[in-house]
Amino acid sequence: MRFEKYFEPASIKECCELLVEYGKDAKLLAGGTDLVPKMKAEVLAPKAVISLHKIPGLETYKLCDKGVTIGALMPLRKLSLCEDLNKWPALKAAAGHVSSMQIRNQATLGGNACNASPSADAVEGLMVYDAIVNIAGPNGDREVEIADFFKGPGKTDLKEGEFVVSFFVPAPEEGTGAAYRKFAIRGDTDISIVGAGARLLLKDGKIADARITLASVAPTPMRAVKTEEFLIGKTPDEETAKAAGKIARDEAKPISDPRASAWYRKDIVEVEVYHAILDAAAAVK
Ligand SMILES: Cc1cc2nc3c(=O)[nH]c(=O)nc-3n(C[C@H](O)[C@H](O)[C@H](O)COP(=O)(O)OP(=O)(O)OC[C@H]3O[C@@H](n4cnc5c(N)ncnc54)[C@H](O)[C@@H]3O)c2cc1C
């Protein structure tokens, strides 16, 4: 593993300055579960490695009436077990489906998003709740909706000198239920063949709002917008879930790779979206 310089900035400003100074030759280090294996394999050889760990406040979360702000360095295991975050069960479940306990102890929410893998599990939990990405940069702070943050495999909306500080996750309305399901051959330690998230808001027994998110079936984590539109006004029963699964199947744009063929992934989307909708409906509070 090769790198020339290692930095531990103590503030957001200092971190942005280093990112500007080193540009494409710099890599941020969060939990390192993506970065370090790539550096060991010499897929990446940054000149400067910049750790985020000395910047205060990035590992914590803060609740308010409107939702919760979760720091980019929040470890995924801590997130998956945090009782203060019980209002967001799909986010906790998605974080809890990332690989093994060892990886989740180390891996962070910010790293999961910034790695920008189409198969990122914790990202799906953020997408289900329409989270906002809080970004710091040399020209000040800005916010991006999580669905707009991903620009392609490994590509994000981050500009030179910017990094993710936290995520704001809005509190779900009363009458909301949500779920995340991961389908992988060897369980959670395996990368998903399909991930499916669902959030339903029920009013008078009908679906008033819906989010359906998919992992591993497009170049970026995606929302199944046509499926969401179909669900509005419907009763959240088996018939609705079955029909929605078929629409999501058509919306998914998977490729074939060594883990699964495109047609198999589409079949799994249909099944997992069906279950995610019924799980979300059963979880309504
Ligand atoms: C054995 C193994 C199994 C895995 N299984 C899964 C799985 O099942 N599901 C899954 O989703 N992932 C999986 N992963 C991938 C990885 O663990 C996750 O993506 C993890 O959340 C990455 O977080 P990290 O903190 O370790 O990121 P790091 O490795 O530290 O960083 C990842 C990338 O994001 C950048 N970065 C990190 N933080 C920020 C920030 N705040 N702002 C801007 N850029 C930043 C880094 O520079 C780097 O390019 C697995 C990895 C391994 C090694």
Instruction: Give the pLDDT confidence score for residue 1 in this predicted structure.
Output: 79
Residue 167 has phi, psi (to 5 degrees) of: -130, 135
pLDDT tens sequence across 148-195? 999 999 999 999 999 999 999 999 999 999 999 999 999 888 899 999
Instruction: Give the pLDDT confidence score for residue 241 in this predicted structure.
Output: 98
Instruction: Give the pLDDT confidence score for residue 192 in this predicted structure.
Output: 95
Instruction: Give the pLDDT confidence score for residue 275 in this predicted structure.
Output: 98
Give the distance (Å) from ligand 1 centre to CA of residue 18: 21
Residue 277 near residue 183, CB atoms below 8 Å:
no
Give the distance (Å) from ligand 1 centre to CA of residue 179: 22
Q: 10-residue block means of pLDDT along the chain (285 residues)?
A: 92 98 97 97 95 97 98 98 98 97 98 98 98 97 98 97 98 98 92 97 98 98 98 98 98 96 98 98 93
Atom of ligand 1 nearest to the CA of 121: 11
Question: Same domain for 162 and 148?
Answer: yes
What domain range is 207 assigned to? 176-282
Residue 58, domain member (yes or no): no
Residue 188, domain member (yes or no): yes
Q: Measured between alpha carbons, how far is 95 from 78 in angstroms, rounded to an integer?
A: 9
Cβ-in-10-Å burial (0-12, 13-18, 19+) of 219 comes to middle
Atom of ligand 1 nearest to the CA of 192: 8
pTM (2 d.p.):
0.97
Q: Which residue has the tokens 């359906």?
A: 212
Give the distance (Å) from ligand 1 centre to CA of residue 183: 19
Residue 59, domain member (yes or no): no
Question: Same domain for 180 and 277?
Answer: yes
Which residue has the CA at smallest separation from atom 25 of ligand 1?
Answer: 31
Question: Same domain for 73 and 147?
Answer: yes
Query: What CATH number does the domain containing 32 carry?
Result: 3.30.43.10
